[in-house]
Amino acid sequence: MEKYYWLPVYGICGECNEPGIGYKWCQPCNAKRFKDNFKNWTSGNKIVDEFIQQSQLNAVHYKKCLEWIPFEKFQNITYITEGGFDCKYALKSLKNSSKISSDFLNEIKSYLQIYLVDIIQCYGITQDPNTREYMMVLEYCDSGNLRNYLNISEDYIDYGKKVDQLKQIARGLLDIHNAGKVHKDFHSGNILFIGEPYISDLGMCQPANKKQTVKEEGIYGVLPFIAPEVLRGHQYTKAADIYSFGIMMNEFLSEEIPFNDIPHDEFLAIKICKGLRPKISEDIPKLLADLMIKCRDAEIKNRPATKELYQLLNKWNSEAYDGKCEIYFQTKECDKIGEKKFYNRSNESKSKSIQIHPQAIYTSRLLNVKNLPKPVNSTDLLSIQINSANPISECLDVQLSELELNEIYQDKGSNIE
């Protein structure tokens, strides 16, 4: 890895006597060192070299500059789908990146353009000498994604800690939105843990004001996490990320996988538009349950803004252990129930809780869903979700008959907006 010029503290650089920019970072001095070092390395590709050089010359923080990292520096690489991992770094390749696809460079640009406190860091670029595909060198998360983090935990994770971690995830989403972008593929598989949570996979991330519609691009993602208006082909907005946050939040708090026992097909997409949401457990504190309901509202205008979401979670985080606050009483009461359930769970019941329907797909993909009904909230369904102790498969009382489906398709002209 490159050696940077570090300031002793915030303040004046001891070499150039100019104020530092960012944490212990002198931009002019580091830019000069990087430029002097350009002659000592090359990726073998002019486009990649210039891309890395510009990141180094313009970096205002040590997390904002990339490096060319020769592949032979990595050891004990194990390939998992399209990523390779060793003990320190994750290598992510994109298909056809040997030809320097725009998608590959655009994803790296997203990592550079977003403030990186709660976003996985991208260290640089390398190239597999066998496939010739370029790879992003990313921070490695030893606890895996959110679902894996919950599954491997040997201790009960109390609501105070979960509120703190949700606050951090919300702060990362706020960073993305403050950069003028939307994530577009926000789900539990893209929340990674290294003790603390980080948002990953910015491959779909793009400007929030982009006018191209989902209809033109296709609908891409994990079905349970996609906002109903996006399923209908409308513009992907920051509010769609908030909807996805609400679904992720429920999975995190309930430790139940959304819609795990039913197929993720067009019928589920229709039910989501008609108001179906993952069940909210009665063991979840009411303040948090109410926030989830707002995030998952069918009406975009009823969902909280990202700043409001972060500020509310930040407030509850500061009050979670304050015996005078409502969030304290609610979380402590629910922790008593949750902790007892956690430690009473047998291995058999735990294995049953993570069984997944063979057609329930939690990897991002292009979805072929068309002519869906206008999104609505279902009051009856919300009541069932909050109060029922039954699993979601037992409260799917919005079954659609063939006649109803035919009516939906016949009315597509008047329903699609």
Task: Evaluate whether residue 209 is within a structural domain.
Answer: yes
Task: Evaluate whether residue 203 is within a structural domain.
Answer: yes
Are 172 and 297 in the same domain? yes
Are 116 and 184 in the same domain? no
On the question of pLDDT at 19 being above 70, the answer is no
Domain ends where: 111, 139, 167? Answer: 139
Question: For 271, what's the count of Cα atoms within 13 Å in the CB-facing half-sphere?
Answer: 23
Are 256 and 368 in the same domain? yes
Lowest mean pLDDT among 80-84, 162-166, 179-183, 249-253: 80-84
Are 132 and 59 in the same domain? yes
Task: Evaluate whether residue 242 is within a structural domain.
Answer: yes
Are 189 and 294 in the same domain? yes
Q: What is the pLDDT of residue 197?
A: 94
Task: Name which residue leads in pLDDT, 347 or 56.
Answer: 56
Tally DSSP H helices, then E strands, for the chain: 16, 12
Are 48 and 165 in the same domain? no
In angstroms, rounded to a whole number, what is the distance separating the alpha carbons of residues 174 and 306? 6
Q: What is the pLDDT of residue 90?
A: 83
By percentage, how much of the chain surpasses pLDDT 70? 76
Task: Evaluate whether residue 402 is within a structural domain.
Answer: no
Neighbours of 10 (CB within 10 A): 12
Are 226 and 96 in the same domain? no
Are 88 and 231 in the same domain? no
Q: Is 136 helix (H, G, I), strand (E, B) or coil?
A: strand
Asked if residue 205 lies in contact with residue 244, where contact means CB atoms within 8 angstroms, the answer is no
Predicted confidence band of residue 142 (pLDDT cuts 50, 70, 90): confident
On the question of pLDDT at 402 being above 50, the answer is no
Are 310 and 334 in the same domain? yes
| Angle separating helix axes 238-254 and 306-319, nearest 10 degrees | 30
Task: Evaluate whether residue 9 is within a structural domain.
Answer: no
Are 154 and 235 in the same domain? yes
Are 68 and 172 in the same domain? no
The model's pLDDT over 360-398, given as tens digits with 9 standing for 90+, comes to 999 999 998 888 999 999 765 444 344 333 333 333 334
**Residue 239: exposed, middle, or buried by beta-carbon count in 10 A (0-12, 13-18, 19+)?**
buried
- Helix (H) or strand (E) holding 301, with range, is none
On the question of pLDDT at 401 being above 70, the answer is no
The total number of structural domains that make up the chain: 2
Q: How confident is the model over 291-314, as a mean pLDDT? A: 97
Are 109 and 149 in the same domain? no
Task: Name which residue leads in pLDDT, 32 or 244.
Answer: 244
Domain ends where: 139, 156, 180? Answer: 139
Q: What is the pLDDT of residue 386?
A: 40
Task: Evaluate whether residue 326 is within a structural domain.
Answer: yes
Task: Evaluate whether residue 110 is within a structural domain.
Answer: yes
On the question of pLDDT at 185 being above 70, the answer is yes
Asked if residue 192 lies in contact with residue 198, where contact means CB atoms within 8 angstroms, the answer is yes
Q: What is the pLDDT of residue 52?
A: 93
3-state helix, strand, coil in the chain (%, to 5): 45, 10, 40
Q: Which residue has the tokens 């770094």?
A: 89
Task: Name which residue leads in pLDDT, 15 or 264.
Answer: 264
Domain ends where: 105, 139, 173? Answer: 139
Predicted confidence band of residue 65 (pLDDT cuts 50, 70, 90): confident
On the question of pLDDT at 171 being above 50, the answer is yes
Task: Name which residue leads in pLDDT, 327 or 379.
Answer: 327
The mean pLDDT of the chain is 81
Which tokens sit at 192?
A: 């990674």
On the question of pLDDT at 145 being above 70, the answer is yes
Predicted confidence band of residue 29 (pLDDT cuts 50, 70, 90): confident
CATH number of the domain bearing residue 332: 1.10.510.10
Q: What is the pLDDT of residue 100?
A: 74
Asked if residue 330 lies in contact with residue 287, where contact means CB atoms within 8 angstroms, the answer is yes
CATH number of the domain bearing residue 111: 3.30.200
On the question of pLDDT at 416 being above 60, the answer is no
Task: Evaluate whether residue 10 is within a structural domain.
Answer: no
Predicted confidence band of residue 83 (pLDDT cuts 50, 70, 90): very low
Quote the domain boundaries for residue 54: 27-139
Q: How confident is the model over 152-160, as a mean pLDDT? A: 93
Give Rg (Cα) of the chain: 23
Predicted confidence band of residue 354 (pLDDT cuts 50, 70, 90): low
On the question of pLDDT at 258 being above 90, the answer is yes
Q: What is the pLDDT of residue 189?
A: 93
Which tokens sit at 195?
A: 């003790």
The model's pLDDT over 96-131, given as tens digits with 9 standing for 90+, comes to 677 776 666 877 888 787 766 788 888 889 998 888
Task: Name which residue leads in pLDDT, 299 or 350.
Answer: 299
